[in-house]
């Protein structure tokens, strides 16, 4: 597989930046234009943090990250709270840097601190040696990553 480059300013009809520009000039309702503008803003902000961004699948305006403490069998709230993004990336599959290989990611843009929470997600069918396997599931209103 060849390295794919994430465009700095996407020019495809399906990306939110182009769609928002088209909506302003075409007969969209104000609510549709507002939604497209919000998607374009989110795309632009996230692209600054991850230039390999390809497509945003899901966002949530508020997310808290918890860590399970095995010793106490309790959930501990971390210092990560903010907007959640689950998105597709353009990975570099043969990169020596493990962080560049992940085709999907989960990111919380932290409101409490300048450090954001980022977790690379790899489908189990393409996990390579040196990568930890993980299970991701949706449990009620929680996304569980094990």
Please write the tens of the pLDDT for every residue from 29-59.
999 999 899 999 999 999 999 999 999 999 9
CA distance 45 to 58: 15
Say if CB 93 and CB 101 are below 8 A apart: yes
Domain count, the chain: 1
Question: Which pLDDT score, from 0 to 100, does residue 51 have?
Answer: 94
CATH of the domain at 94: 2.30.29.30
6 in any annotated domain: no
Question: Which pLDDT score, from 0 to 100, does residue 143 have?
Answer: 73
25 in any annotated domain: no
Residue numbers of the domain that contains 81: 51-145
pLDDT in tens, 67-107: 999 999 999 999 999 999 999 999 887 888 877 788 999 99
79 in any annotated domain: yes
Asked if pLDDT for residue 11 goes beyond 60, the answer is no
Question: For all residues of the chain together, what is the average pLDDT?
Answer: 80
CA distance 106 to 84: 7
19 in any annotated domain: no
44 in any annotated domain: no
57 in any annotated domain: yes
């Amino acid at each position: 597989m060849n390295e794919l480059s994430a465009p700095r300013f996407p020019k495809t009809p399906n990306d939110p930046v182009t769609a928002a520009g088209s909506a302003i000039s075409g007969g969209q309702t104000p609510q549709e234009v507002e939604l497209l503008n919000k998607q374009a803003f989110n795309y632009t902000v996230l692209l600054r943090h991850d230039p390999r961004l390809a497509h945003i699948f899901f966002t949530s305006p508020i997310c808290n990250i918890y860590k399970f403490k095995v010793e106490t069998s309790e959930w501990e709230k971390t210092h990560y709270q903010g907007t959640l993004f689950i998105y597709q990336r353009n990975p570099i599959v043969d990169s020596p840097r493990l962080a560049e290989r992940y085709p999907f990611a989960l990111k919380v843009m932290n409101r409490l601190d300048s450090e954001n929470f980022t977790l690379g997600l790899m489908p189990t069918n393409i996990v390579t040696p040196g990568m930890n396997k993980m299970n991701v599931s949706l449990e009620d209103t929680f996304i569980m990553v094990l």
